[in-house]
Chain A
Amino acid sequence: MRSQRTSLIAIFVILIFLLGVALINSNSLGDFGITLLSGLFQGMLLFLVAAGMSIVFGLMDVLNMAQGSYFMVGAYVAFDVQHTGGLIDLTNIIPDPNFRFVVAVLAAVLVGAAFGYVLERFLLRSLYSRPIFQLVLTFGVSLVALELVKFIWTTTPYSWTELFGVRESFFELFGQRFSTYRLFVVGMGIALIVAIGLLLQRSRIGIIIRAGVEDREMVQALGIHVRSVFTLVFTLGCAIAAFGGAVAAPFLGASTTLGSGFLLQAIAVVVLGGMGSYAGTAVGSVLVGLAIAVAQDTAIGTSFAALPSITPMLLLVLVLLVRPSGLFGNSR
């Protein structure tokens, strides 16, 4: 109980610090709001990558180094489906861009799930007796994914040009224009955090997952086929990451740097929150997202433009130095 209180205090202190810096940096309440929203937006995207990573690590002891790649692939698939040209051109079949975006996101989720299933079922499964090679394998898969994306879509980054309703609209508050789409993504992220949380707490599969994080063998000895739960969880985790890439694409576009960028940020989240802890992942995502947004604000106009990109790594290094078990976790 005492450690839970210290982690709450730690979260509180970090949050106050980040908000304080954001407040100092901003000229108006509107500015502050923008920083906050962009931090939350970034945090929700991070959560979508980190959630699967954390649960998979807790349950299967596999750190999926390819998780960022699923995010990247999701962004590319969504981009491809939404725009004219590319592999799949739906502009004639589905002229309504809003509806096409829904289809694009669904396509990304399906592709993510399919690749996740293949990776777990056909590649990782043969390596459960050699854990170090699982890590190496997922690392290799991330390289192949990157090269495949380069091969199919070339290395030139795409930026989103297709207009659709929510993407373009915004509202005004404190004299600043806020993007409705970002708010929508933040809302959806929060809804997903709650939904996955409820799934873990209330459903039978959730109980199995939490039990499996503690003691896989005993779950098996109760007559539950843990391997099929592995496949399900892994597939779901990859699908969620691809979903994240798809909903981020209208803002971030699609580029080959998304994979490694989000991988490192998600690792920072997972380590900060505590490997395998779901609550930790949710809290960690928000904190890292805010930290990146604050760093972006701080770096504007200074010569140290690398700050926002280095922030997640700095956080990761700091957490490992100070408290390797993270906010809610166990590092051994």
Chain B
Amino acid sequence: MTPILEVRDIHTFIGQFHILEGVSATVHTGGITVLLGRNGAGKTTTLRSIMGLTPPTRGSILLDGTPIHGKQAHTIAQMGVGYVPEHRAIFRSLTVLENLRLAERKKGDFAHQADFIFELFPDLKRLIELPGGNLSGGQQQMLAVARALVPENRLLLIDEPSEGLAPVIIEQLIAAIQRLSGQVSVLLVEQNFRVASKLGQNYVIIDSGHSALDGRMADLVKDQALIQRYLGVA
């Protein structure tokens, strides 16, 4: 079976800086693959490169076997890739409903998904008319994830969902991401190794712009030496 996403040896520059110097990663259809690495290793840039926001200059990216590298971000999104950026990039001046509506790719997308979204994040239903900027950090993160669920996506790219959130909220989010991964494949960037190991079935490690290692999460968890070496956590 073709994997949902195949990244092959991509190189990405930001300005004059060579950020990605050969990153490869495979996301298998169904379930969650976690992208791991130290700060500044290039995890966010990898997601942005896949999304077409910082296009790679070399290498290839295949979505379900179709090349998407070199395409513009909106085209890639339309092909079924949802993006949940770091720092909860929701639109603060738009209401929760407008945030969700904006993500529609065809009329009725939101109505179709509303039940599932509110089942995952019951809070949002209550807040539907509030401006995004008035939401708490956790609620904003839920909105950002919910927004990616509005259109029919094949793959979600989620960047650091747990960053800066209280433990109770993180548990809620873990549960929600676990549930939605039953419907859509996920590539997740997560610094918090506890969260990452709980969610991911597979992992890819990048180290200063290169992909270093990949495999099954179950194997990584057992190998303290590897974790120490690449992630600096015990």
Check B92–A221 contact: CB distance below 8 A: no
Give chain A nearest CB distance to B196 CB in angstroms: 23
C-alpha spacing A219/B73, complex, angstroms: 10
Tell me if A204 counts as interface (CB < 8 A to partner B): yes
Check B83–A221 contact: CB distance below 8 A: yes
Check A207–B77 contact: CB distance below 8 A: no
Q: Which of A207, A208, A210, A221 contacts B73 (CB 8 A)?
A: A221
Q: Which of B72, B91, B151 contacts A215 (CB 8 A)?
A: B91
B76-90 CB mask vs A (1 if < 8 Å, else 0) is 011000010100010
Tell me if B21 counts as interface (CB < 8 A to partner A): no
Give chain A nearest CB distance to B13 CB in angstroms: 13
How many residues on B have C-beta within 8 angstroms of the other chain's C-beta atoms? 21
Closest residue to A222 on the B side, CB-wise?
Answer: B103
Q: A218-B89, A220-B74 given as contacts; is B53 within 8 A of A210 (CB)? A: no
Tell me if A211 counts as interface (CB < 8 A to partner B): yes
Check A221–B98 contact: CB distance below 8 A: no
Check B74–A226 contact: CB distance below 8 A: yes
Q: A221-B77, A223-B151, A224-B74 given as contacts; is B92 within 8 A of A204 (CB)? A: no
Q: A204: which B residues are within 8 A, CB to CB?
A: 101-102
Closest residue to B92 on the A side, CB-wise?
Answer: A214
Tell me if A225 counts as interface (CB < 8 A to partner B): yes
C-alpha spacing A266/B33, complex, angstroms: 52
Give chain B nearest CB distance to A77 CB in angstroms: 36
A102-115 CB mask vs B (1 if < 8 Å, else 0) is 00000000000000
Seen from chain B, the residues whose Cβ lies within 8 Å of a Cβ on chain A are 51, 53, 72-74, 77-78, 83, 85, 89, 91-94, 98, 101-103, 105, 147, 151
Seen from chain A, the residues whose Cβ lies within 8 Å of a Cβ on chain B are 204, 207-208, 210-211, 213-215, 217-226
Given contact pairs A210-B93, A223-B103, a sample of 15 additional A-B residue pairs in the complex whose CB atoms are under 8 Å apart: A207-B94, A210-B94, A211-B91, A214-B91, A215-B89, A218-B89, A219-B102, A220-B53, A221-B74, A222-B74, A222-B77, A222-B103, A223-B77, A223-B78, A224-B74
A-B contact list, 15 entries, CB within 8 Å: A204-B102, A207-B102, A210-B93, A210-B94, A211-B91, A211-B94, A211-B102, A214-B92, A215-B89, A220-B77, A221-B73, A222-B74, A223-B74, A223-B105, A224-B74
